Amino acid sequence: MSAIEDLIDRRRLRRKLSFWRVAAIVIVAFAIAAGAYALSADRMATSKDQIARVSIEGMILEDQKLLDLLDRLKDEDAVKAVVLRIDSPGGTTVGGESIYEAVRAIAEVKPVAAEVGTLAASAGYMIASGADHIVARRTSIVGSIGVIFQYVDASQLLETVGVEVNAIKSAPLKAEPSPFAPAPEAAKEMINRLVMDTYEWFVALVAERRDMSMAEAKALADGSIFSGQQGLKNRLVDALGGENEVRRWFEEDRGITKDLVIVDREPKDDGFDFSMFAGARAAIYGVFGLDPRSGSLTTAVLHKAGHLDGLVSLWQPLGGASSLR
């Protein structure tokens, strides 16, 4: 290679390096500016009198960031009322219980309404019942009041492939039911007691919140789902409609002026530095079909997989019903 060619190559390399340095500076500057703007916009939004709207969507888990948001809304003087926009098939009973309790804490100091989208079933309906007023579309789905515990018996598959799993346990019911052997009757009875204990609590909660007797609540708590219209007749829903109906109730029943703006409030990310890149992270999660609201990759993957631990109050997995057919 001649000296001239070598000089040309070095100049080309310097130009490429300069381009990427400038690009990196621009990206960092944009991220800082976007983060500063987002923080400024958030401060402005939360300082004005408003109706706060919180979306509860997808699989319900115990979400500490969501619980922190609900706790902040309870204490913010600018928040005059709260709307829960629910579109969920349910999830873990612990997740539903924790969010329900947070909703009831808000309702002690300011009005709370639940606006059902496509679906508020199982733990989703549990959360809705924490509101003072439930609004649903005529064709929304509500109900599925109940609890389920599912386990896999893969013993025949293991036998087919020639795998034997042995265990030494401190007691017969330790780690039962096991996927490696058929569940003994004692284990089934144990799980049934666990399920029914939580079921009775769920039914009593619905009876109290919807002003029903236990007998009336149990008649609806056989796992059945109902349209919004059916839910209205069965007193699981207070009114049919959407945002306008929520506003009407706030104004006529709770004296909340109709001029208040509805502000969508979302759980905060951890720290300023991370909030700068929240938009980019959400976009990347979206590309791979993950929940863009998730604060970590682990949470996003678990939401996508529908991973649930413990007792669940669930009608169908994510995406189980988008319409009646």
Catalytic residues: 122, 174
Task: Report residue 284 as tokens.
Answer: 């990347």
Please report, for residues 199, 210, 230, 297, 300, the alpha-carbon distance to residue 217 in angstroms, rounded to integers and kept in the order given.
11, 9, 14, 40, 35
Three-class secondary structure assignment of the chain? CCHHHHHHHHHHHHHHHHHHHHHHHHHHHHHHHHHHHHHHHHHHHHHCCEEEEEEEEEEECCCHHHHHHHHHHHHCCCEEEEEEEEEEEEEEHHHHHHHHHHHHHHHCCCCEEEEEEEEEECHHHHHHCCCCEEEECCCCEEECCCCECCCCCCHHHHHHHCCCCCCCCCCCCCCCCCCCCCCCHHHHHHHHHHHHHHHHHHHHHHHHHCCCCHHHHHHHCCCCEEEHHHHHHCCCCCEECCHHHHHHHHHHHHCCCCCCEEEECCCCCCCHHHHHCHHHHHHHHHHCCCCCCCCCHHHHHHHHHCCCCCCEEECCCCCCCCCCC
- Please state, in angstroms and as integers, the Cα–Cα distance from residue 56 to each residue in 125, 166, 253, 262, 296, following that order: 11, 43, 24, 16, 18
Q: Which of 105, 148, 118 is nearest to 56 (CA)?
A: 118
Q: How many CB atoms lie within 10 A of CB 255?
A: 10
